[in-house]
Structures are given as C-alpha cells and as structure tokens.
Amino acid sequence: MNLEDVFLNNPASSVRELESVIQDVYQLVQREYPQIDMSLAIDQSLFLRPEHERE
C-alpha cells in the first residue's frame, strides 16, 4: 500500500498509516545510528497522540 492510496482512498486509516511510518523511521534510526538517543522524540510523539488512540 502506498501513501497515495491511504490518503485518497482510505483517509480513515491515514493517521494510523503515518504513525506506522514514523515508528519505522525511529527503528531505522536506532538501528543505523545507535549513538543517537531517540527516546525523547519517541516519548514526545507518543504524548502528542490523542488519549483514546494510545496503546
């Protein structure tokens, strides 16, 4: 599934898909650049999610 499909054909899942992309980017950065502390960015992005959407 590409982002164009998500945004144009299924906007209800857009936020979920973007969150998945962001998590993938965090994992990539942590794997490729272990010296970079991503914990603050991860914590802040989780804090910004709507309360009922947090897992």
pLDDT tens digits, one per residue of 7-55: 787 776 777 788 888 889 989 999 999 998 888 888 887 776 665 454 4
Structural contact between residues 46 and 54, judged by C-beta atoms closer than 8 angstroms: yes
**pTM for this predicted structure:** 0.63
The larger pLDDT score, comparing residue 45 to residue 3, is at 45
Q: What is the pLDDT of residue 21?
A: 85
Q: What is the pLDDT of residue 35?
A: 93
Q: Please, what is the end-to-end C-alpha distance for the chain in angstroms?
A: 23
CA dihedral 46, 10, 5, 13 (to 10 degrees): 10
Q: What is the pLDDT of residue 52?
A: 47
Q: What is the pLDDT of residue 49?
A: 63
